[in-house]
Amino acid sequence: MIRLAVLGSTGSIGTQTLEVVGKFPDEIEVVALLAKRASEKLLDQVLRHRPSIVVTYEKPSQEWLSSLPEGTEYMFGDEGLREAISLADRVMNAVSGIHGIKPAYYALKEKKTLLASNKESIVCLGGLVRENRERIIPVDSEHNALFQLLEGVRREDIRFLYLTASGGPFRNWSIEEMKKATPEDALKHPNWNMGAKITIDSATLMNKGFEMLEAMNLFDVELSRIKVVIHPQSVVHGVLELKDGSFFLHAGKTDMRIPIMHTLFYPERKEYPFGRVDLTSLSPVEFEPVDEEKFRSLYLARWAGEMRGVYIPVLVGADEEAVSLFLEGRIGFLDIVDLIEKVLSSVNIPDPENLEGILEAIEWARRKVREIYEKECAEIR
Ligand SMILES: NC(=O)c1ccc[n+]([C@@H]2O[C@H](COP(=O)([O-])OP(=O)(O)OC[C@H]3O[C@@H](n4cnc5c(N)ncnc54)[C@H](OP(=O)(O)O)[C@@H]3O)[C@@H](O)[C@H]2O)c1
């Protein structure tokens, strides 16, 4: 029996994880659930899966607490997070954004198998990730594909790893049109249904920027060998080009339950329980280069990745805050990447040496975004 903790259980990945788990009741035991809020959805999940512990980061009401079933203990915040991790063999980290960094950190420190969905943590915890590679199974469809493609491949035989990108909702928009894009436009992802933060990152392509840094940390491949290619259909998730001219492609339906199931049981393979996919339904398959002038986020991510040190958490923190400002309707779509660039070019803080340093660099970048925003707004007024 696999003992599983699902962190971020109420989100898109968390919900799909529990959907897969529900198909294998005799093989996986959900020992812990964690979310931000003590919501009805979380309570429903607790009643269905009966974990030993449920954790939230916002205090629940008395009524919510008294609805918990016998055998499920409630714990608050980081203390609960650490207890949840200690009970599990495998930890699904599906907490969104920068809040997913501590869960990944504690899971790796505790030597648990990390099913890594949250990308900010894999991007920021480079050293720890590299030391614990054999304990991390990536959930993100692109990295999950590359993880599978790379099994048994010698690093010296690799020419390039390709991360496929749908191109997001603005692939065919002009820069002038993108200037006027609203949160509603940006939240309409063509192929995937995901949380708000990652959907906006997909529209700016910063999501692919983070994915390049993730791939660098996860697979021991230098950044110059990691490329992004537009693939509008999102059925090929990763491509491996070897030095002898061979290309290996990993394809599958646009369904996160496939990589999720892979990580839950790896190295075992299970029958996909949601209906077989016919190969012809995966066509056509097209690839195009990315317009990097339109999507400057890729350049910024590569630059931060080459600079390393403090620049990576600063990139992540600045993106988190700029995306919030855009979702609040305070800045335009193209201002997201402009603000990140301004913050990256004003870095004057030291490289972080530990988790606290990484979190401080993120907070510094978030404050800097707000500062630049307030200043520019004041100038316009
Ligand atoms: N969705 C996808 O298809 C996809 C694909 C690849 C990678 N990812 C990555 O997977 C992660 C999760 O994405 P998602 O789309 O599932 O996000 P989501 O739908 O927004 O869900 C986020 C989850 O994290 C919890 N959470 C948010 N803030 C928290 C905090 N401060 N403390 C503790 N828990 C908190 C939420 O709890 P509440 O519900 O209580 O707010 C929710 O359970 C992200 O890092 C994303 O980049 C997602």
pLDDT tens digit sequence for 289-306: 999 999 999 999 999 999
7: pLDDT strictly greater than 80: yes
- Between the CA of 100 and the centroid of ligand 1 the distance, in Å, is 8
Q: Which two tokens stand for residue 17?
A: 């994880």
For residues 23 and 265, the answer to whether their CB atoms sit within 8 Å is no
- Between the CA of 194 and the centroid of ligand 1 the distance, in Å, is 9
pTM of the full structure: 0.94
Specify the pLDDT at position 378. Answer: 64
CA 69 to chain centre: 32
- Between the CA of 355 and the centroid of ligand 1 the distance, in Å, is 20
- Between the CA of 159 and the centroid of ligand 1 the distance, in Å, is 33
- Between the CA of 58 and the centroid of ligand 1 the distance, in Å, is 15
Pocket test for ligand 1, best of 16, 39, 95, 324 (most atoms within 8 A of CB): 95
380: pLDDT strictly greater than 80: no
Residue nearest (by alpha carbon) to ligand 1 atom 43: 8
CA 121 to chain centre: 8
- Between the CA of 184 and the centroid of ligand 1 the distance, in Å, is 19
Q: How confident is the model over 307-360, as pLDDT tens digits?
A: 999 999 999 999 999 999 999 999 999 999 999 999 999 999 999 999 999 999
Q: Which amino acid is at 294?
A: K
Average confidence (pLDDT) over 93-109: 97
Set out the domains of the chain in order of their start, with CATH numbers: 2-138 (3.40.50.720), 141-295 (no CATH), 308-381 (1.10.1740.10)
Burial of 173 (0-12, 13-18, 19+ CB in 10 A): middle
Specify the pLDDT at position 381. Answer: 55
What's the CA gap between 238 and 144, in Å, rounded?
Answer: 8
Q: Which amino acid is at 216?
A: M
Q: How confident is the model over 102-144, as pLDDT tens digits?
A: 999 999 999 999 999 999 999 999 999 999 999 999 999 999 9
What's the CA gap between 218 and 211, in Å, rounded?
Answer: 10
Question: Using a 6 Å CB cutoff, which residues line ligand 1?
Answer: 8-14, 35-37, 39, 57, 94-96, 99-100, 117-119, 140, 192, 194-195, 198, 256
What percentage of the chain reaches a pLDDT higher than 90? 93
